Amino acid sequence: MSVEQNPIYKYQTELTFTVHTEASLANASTQRIQYLKPDGTTTGSWAASVSNATLGYMTYAVQATGDLDTSGVWKLWGYVQFTGGGEAWGKADEVYIHPRPWE
């Protein structure tokens, strides 16, 4: 997992998450970046775009202020579904989302 900017703040946009799956995404039919919020129970996902199918990179550009609506440690990992029904999950990485400076 890589991020183009650090630190990351709650409600921030203009940010891109990149996941390296270490597998070819040439036959990927669905790719997502999945997350577990700091409360430990809230999960979800964002639709990712393949940025380099051969090397296995996918990205998600944060779209709205509500995408990162909680400060604390988030767990993020890649998920891929392949043509023909195969699935793969990546290793979860922790990303700290900081409270906004005035909070």
What does pTM read for this prediction? Answer: 0.87
Please report how many Cα atoms fall inside a 13 Å half-sphere around the Cα of residue 28, on the Cβ side: 25
pLDDT truncated to tens, each residue of the chain (103 aa)? 555 557 899 999 999 999 988 889 999 999 999 999 999 999 999 999 999 999 999 999 999 999 999 999 999 999 999 998 899 988 899 999 999 988 8
In what helix (H) or strand (E) does residue 61 lie, and over which residues does it extend? Answer: strand 57-61
| Token pair listed for 63 | 């779209």
Q: List the domains of the chain with CATH numbers.
A: 2-98 (2.60.40.1220)
What pLDDT score was predicted for residue 5? 54
pLDDT of residue 90: 87
Give the span between the Cα atoms of 69 and 39, in whole angstroms: 12
How confident is the model at residue 6, as a pLDDT? Answer: 76
